[in-house]
Amino acid sequence: MAVKFDHSHRIRDFQPGTYVMATEDTPGSKFEAKYHGPYKVLSRSTNGSYTLLDPTAEILPRRYSPVQLKQVMQALDARNDESYEIEKILDHSISEEGVLYMVKWKGYDSSYNQQL
């Protein structure tokens, strides 16, 4: 009996530090995303539910069962080494490509201003 159950049910175990996406018990409209996240697994309780952290390192107010979680292979909130911060938008224009913005990059002088 136990062997048949084990073959028909996939046992999921997420280690602390694993990144996961979570779904709710009650589905919303078909236009809403099924999974939310990414969240980081903080711990597993004795009954098998998981405590999760949001990207701001706040603990989520409820626990999730393993069937409500889907593992993500990499940290989606990790910053890329090649990211830059915009200090301000100087101007904008509309072209065939869409809206273009003239930006000033934070920490750089005006010679680096760029239209995106």
Quick: pLDDT tens for 29-72: 778 878 888 899 999 999 889 999 988 889 999 999 988 899 88
CA distance 48 to 62: 13
Q: How far apart are CA 60 and CA 79, in angstroms?
A: 22
| Single pTM value for the model | 0.56
Neighbouring CB atoms inside 10 A of 38's CB total: 20
* Segment 95-100 mean pLDDT: 81
